Amino acid sequence: MKQILLSTAAVLGLATVASAQDLPQAGSDWYQAAQDTIAERLAVQPNTATAKNVILFTADGNGVGTNYAIRLFSGQQEGGLGDEYVQPHETFPHVALVKTYSSNGQTPDSAPTAMAMNSGVKGKNGMINIMDTVAVEDCAAGADAGTKLFSEIATEMGKSVGVISTARITHATPAAVYARTVSRDWEDNSALPEGCEQKDIAAQLIDQMQAGVIDVAFGGGRAHFLPTDVTDVEGKTGKRTDGRNLVEEATGLGAQVVFGEEDFSALTAGNNAPILGLFEASHMKYEHDRTGEPSLAEMTEAAIEALSTNDEGFYLSIEAGRVDHANHEGNLYRVLADGKAFADAIAKAMELTNAEDTLIIVTADHEHAISFNGYCGRGSNIVGLCMEENEAGIEHNGTPNLGADGKPYTVAGYLNGAGSVLIEQADGTFSGSRPDLTEEEATDPDYLQQALIPMSSETHSGEDVAVFARGPWSHLFGGVIEQNVIFHVMNHAVTAE
């Protein structure tokens, strides 16, 4: 009945209904904004065109909770209270919740989650694009249990493929775009067990470049492409023990290879040569610390510019890989600064593509053990202390809420990790109490939010993540879905007649 009423409202005009009902709250900004939202929702029509391009954005470790924190951070950076801020992907018309567990893990790591999105099936923790009938690190069995990748399907359709990550380009999420491996740790040959015929991940990237599958790759991980006796542009040595210099091999394939902000800026698109950007020996820098490297938005722009020269379209996977790493550190400030850089990259992709022919999907691979306290007044700094609500106004009153121990607490914290309030004692036991805390200390970019269980690194969690989508067939996202459904939406979108 309610639905019929709303449809009627669309015909008659929502303002008419509001005034007809003569509600005392109808003049409120909240009321009007909600009416506008209803009008927008009523105007949404499914796009059943064939997708020319697909862009898959993944912020590693950016579950619903982390995404919420990034929203507040971004809004507060602009001078707002934070809650009201709308991230670019939060304007997308279609959203679902995503179940991220893996074949054998209630809590997934980034290998099977990326596999789910790139192969359409779930896999085991630690393995990438290998069927879950195989045991982790079973080299021989893995050789016959690889999946076909969405990048390979797209290539067969004549599309170009790009992969970007702020982590190492051989790290799990980007690796799942082009590689199959029974161990995510086999990023170069030195990690392979003796007698194992499987190629390492870096070597597989070059193979896929040679095969014409990968056209653009930007990220970190230079050391996995260089032999141990070669020093890179930043004075760091390679890790390969097979003597192969994959950078030279890529150049030999005709690829443009770049290592820093300067040569990145000089890249030329449109000559149909592959592009390889390796901006760090290991992971690229956190956005807060970034120097001499392109931003995620800049890499996104360069990749779209290069891939768009193919009239058949492209598949581009873009990962903000270090949202996850900062969460592992328990350092919320860097989580959120990298999250904002992720949102900026999404905005850039929206600007450079057309929703009529480009499916953009924004998601995460998994959530973390991040958690949120209450009852904070509006405008409490998301990395700072949880302030009391202001009963006479809107913004918090500047007085920190206190725990039963008489000490203030931050808006966000972690269930485990390096910020644990339990400290190892000389006898090996753990004990302690919550340190006292000022707003200045809590908002310092190097501060670690308080955590409960002591661990050297904070953990992932199995909590749902969200998926936001716009463009062809994005309306297939809805409800609560398994993570591997994402592949099937992409595959349907590019193949739909």
Partner 1 sequence: MNRRHLLALPLALLAPRAVAQDGPILLRDLYNKDLSFSDAALSAEGGRLAVEGFMAPPLKADSVFFVLTKRPMAVCPFCEPGMPWPDDILAVYAKRIVDVVPFNVPIVVEGVLELGDEVDPELGFYSKVRLTDATFRRI
Binding to partner 1 (CB under 8 A): which residues in 229-258?
236
Among 122, 180, 184, 222, the residue binding partner 1 under the rule CB under 8 A is: 184
Which stretch of DSSP H or E encloses residue 370?
strand 370-372
Tracing tokens 């249990």 back to the chain, one arrives at 145
Smallest separation (angstroms) from partner 1 to the CB of 398: 26
Report the alpha-carbon distance of residue 19 to residue 36 in Å, rounded: 15
Q: Does 277 bind partner 1 (CB under 8 A)?
A: no
The active-site residue, picked from 110, 308, 317, 474, is 110
Our finding on whether 291 is near partner 1 (CB under 8 A) is yes
Q: How far is the CB of 280 from partner 1 (least distance, A)?
A: 9
Cα separation, 245 vs 6, whole angstroms: 63
Q: Which residue, 176 or 494, has its beta carbon nearer to partner 1?
A: 176
Contact stretch for partner 1 (CB under 8 A) within 22-30, 78-86, 203-211, 287-295: 287-295
Q: Which residues pair with 168 in a beta bridge?
A: 220
Q: What is the DSSP string of 284-341?
A: PPPGGG--SS--HHHHHHHHHHHHTTSTT-EEEEEEETHHHHHHHHT-HHHHHHHHHH
Q: Which is nearer to partner 1, 447 or 487 (CB)?
A: 447
Choice between 293 and 389, CB closer to partner 1 = 293
Count of residues engaged in binding partner 1, rule: CB under 8 A:
31
CB closer to partner 1 out of 286 and 409: 286
Cβ at position 457, least distance to partner 1 in Å = 5
Site for partner 1 in 309-338 (CB under 8 A): 325, 328-331
- Rounded to the nearest 10°, the torsion over CA 167, 361, 328, 198 is -50
283 is annotated as contributing to ligand binding: no
- Establish if 159 lies at the interface with partner 1 (CB under 8 A): no
Q: Which of 36, 156, 229, 289 binds partner 1 (CB under 8 A)?
A: 289
Q: What is the DSSP string of 220-269?
A: E-GGGGSBTT-B-TTS-B--BSS---HHHHHHHTT-EEE-SHHHHHT---
The least distance separating partner 1 from the CB of residue 283, rounded to whole angstroms, comes to: 8
Contact between 185 and partner 1 per CB under 8 A: yes
171 annotated to bind ligand = yes
Nearest CA among 368, 338, 484, 417 for reference residue 109: 368
Question: Known binder of ligand: residue 365?
Answer: yes
Task: Supply the Cα-derived Rg of the chain in whole angstroms.
Answer: 24
Nearest-angstrom CA–CA distance, 446 and 326: 10
Q: What are phi and psi of 322, to 5 degrees?
A: -105, 0
The reply on whether position 115 binds partner 1 by CB under 8 A is: no
Alpha carbon of 77 to those of 73, 83, 258, 343, 379: distances in Å?
Answer: 6, 12, 32, 13, 11
Known binding residue 94? Answer is no
Q: What are phi and psi of 160, to 5 degrees?
A: -90, 160
Q: How far is the CB of 317 from partner 1 (least distance, A)?
A: 18
112, containing H or E segment: helix 110-119
Q: Which is nearer to partner 1, 314 or 447 (CB)?
A: 447
Known binding residue 324? Answer is yes
Dihedral sign of CA atoms 340, 345, 351, 353 in order: negative
Question: Residues 194 to 223: which contact partner 1 by CB under 8 A?
Answer: 223
- Is 243 in contact with 227 (CB distance < 8 Å)? yes
Q: Is 429 annotated as a binding residue?
A: no
107 is in an annotated binding site: no
Closest distance between partner 1 and the C-beta of residue 376, in Å?
25
Q: How far is the CB of 252 from partner 1 (least distance, A)?
A: 26
Residue 106 binds partner 1 (CB under 8 A):
no
Identify which range of 47-55, 66-74, 144-152, 182-190 contacts partner 1 by CB under 8 A. 182-190
To the question of whether residue 60 is assigned a binding role by annotation, the answer is: yes
* Shortest separation between residue 291's beta carbon and partner 1, angstroms: 5
CA 210 to chain CA centroid, Å, is 27
Q: Residue 423: phi, psi to the nearest 5?
A: -110, 140
Of 58, 62, 110, 484, the one binding partner 1 (CB under 8 A) is: 110
Bond from prior residue into 375 cis (ω within 30 degrees of 0)? yes
Among 417, 474, 483, 490, binds partner 1 (CB under 8 A): 417
Q: Is 181 annotated as a binding residue?
A: no
Q: Which is nearer to partner 1, 228 or 491 (CB)?
A: 228
Binding map of partner 1 across residues 418-457, x = CB under 8 A, - = no contact: xxx--xx---------------------x-x-------xx
Q: Based on the residue annotation, tell me whether 103 is a catalytic residue of this protein.
A: no
**Alpha helices by DSSP H, 22-109:** 29-43, 64-77
Picking from 376, 360, 287, 329, the residue whose alpha carbon sits closest to that of residue 68 is 376
Selected binder of partner 1 within 132, 187, 344, 365 (CB under 8 A): 187
Helices (H), 353-397: none
Amino acid identity for residue 491 in this structure: N
- Which residues contact partner 1 (rule: CB under 8 A)? 109-110, 168, 172, 184-185, 187, 191, 223, 236, 281-282, 289, 291-292, 325, 328-331, 417-420, 423-424, 446, 448, 456-458
Q: From the annotation, which residues make up the binding site for Zn(2+)?
A: 60, 324, 328, 365-366, 460
Q: Hey, which residues are catalytic here? A: 110
